[in-house]
A and B are shown apart, each in its own frame.
Chain A
Amino acid sequence: DTAVSQTPKYLVTQMGNDKSIKCEQNLGHDTMYWYKQDSKKFLKIMFSYNNKELIINETVPNRFSPKSPDKAHLNLHINSLELGDSAVYFCASSQDGRGYEQYFGPGTRLTVT
């Protein structure tokens, strides 16, 4: 059983389009995250949700909107895609907000042409 899963694994789209990435965790965790990994492998946190409530919202364009329908799911919707959005997006989860280890999904490679 996959602990943290993401769909799709690859996403190729054109500038200006709107796309969504889905994330699900079956670990019973309360907190979920979205990270962006650029071409130099640098990891940047984008959002964090604790039990469906937004906790961290880093400096991210408002074209990016997370949605958490329940604590096992955290989806990422991106409007008006730009070339600079091309990256690998990782979902992660942790047991609670006390700083314990995070478990990562396999990533979604987004390519904007």
Chain B
Amino acid sequence: AQSVTQLDSQVPVFEEAPVELRCNYSSSVSVYLFWYVQYPNQGLQLLLKYLSGSTLVKGINGFEAEFNKSQTSFHLRKPSVHISDTAEYFCAVSFPGAGNQFYFGTGTSLTVIP
């Protein structure tokens, strides 16, 4: 069975501090990995993706994530957060060539404190 676990449901962090949002997945086959951001009352926007190649992936708004196959993780990081980063963040996994279903984590609510 495939699943995605976001270990923290809420993460408060002070402005300009670094942040890491954790994501682990379970799968016995190759995966594609994604991070999406959802601002209040908006749809989901793709932050970054890992399909293959370099395990360090850079995305929009200064975010990056590292794919760690041995630990089955894809943690999202930003060295210095802004108030505007306050949002819900979703990790998702899909499977190359195995159909088009995404499996989403339960989300992490990031609150940046002034």
Contacting residues of chain A (90-113) with chain B, CB-CB under 8 angstroms:
90, 92, 94, 96-107
For the complex, count residues of A whose C-beta is within 8 A of B: 27
Check B74 for interface membership: any CB of A closer than 8 A.
Answer: no
Check A83 for interface membership: any CB of B closer than 8 A.
Answer: no
State the Cβ distance, B21 to closest chain A Cβ, in Å: 14
Q: Contact residues of A with B, CB < 8 Å? A: 4, 31, 33, 40-43, 45, 48, 50, 55-56, 90, 92, 94, 96-107
Q: Contact at B98–A106, with CB atoms within 8 Å? A: no
**Contacting residue for A42 out of B95, B98, B106, B109, CB 8 A:** B106
Residues of A within 8 A of B43 (CB): 4, 90, 104-107
With A100-B32, A101-B34, A103-B46 in contact, do A41 and B107 touch (Cβ < 8 Å)?
A: yes
Q: How many residues of B sit at the interface, in one of the four size bands?
A: 20 to 34
25 contacts between A and B (CB under 8 A): A40-B106, A41-B38, A41-B107, A41-B109, A43-B90, A43-B107, A48-B101, A50-B100, A56-B99, A90-B43, A92-B44, A96-B100, A97-B99, A98-B97, A99-B32, A99-B96, A99-B97, A99-B100, A100-B32, A102-B102, A103-B46, A104-B43, A105-B43, A106-B42, A107-B42
Residues of B within 8 A of A105 (CB): 43
How many cross-chain pairs have Cβ atoms below 8 Å apart between A and B? 62
Residues of B within 8 A of A41 (CB): 38, 88, 106-107, 109
With A41-B88, A41-B107, A99-B32 in contact, do A90 and B99 touch (Cβ < 8 Å)?
A: no
Q: Contact at B107–A56, with CB atoms within 8 Å? A: no
Q: Contact at B51–A100, with CB atoms within 8 Å? A: yes
State the Cβ distance, A9 to closest chain B Cβ, in Å: 9
Q: Contact at A99–B95, with CB atoms within 8 Å? A: yes
Q: Is the interface of A mostly helix, strand, loop or mixed?
A: strand
Residues of A within 8 A of B99 (CB): 55-56, 97, 99
**Contacting residue for A98 out of B44, B100, B102, CB 8 A:** B100
With A41-B107, A42-B106, A43-B104 in contact, do A101 and B49 touch (Cβ < 8 Å)?
A: yes
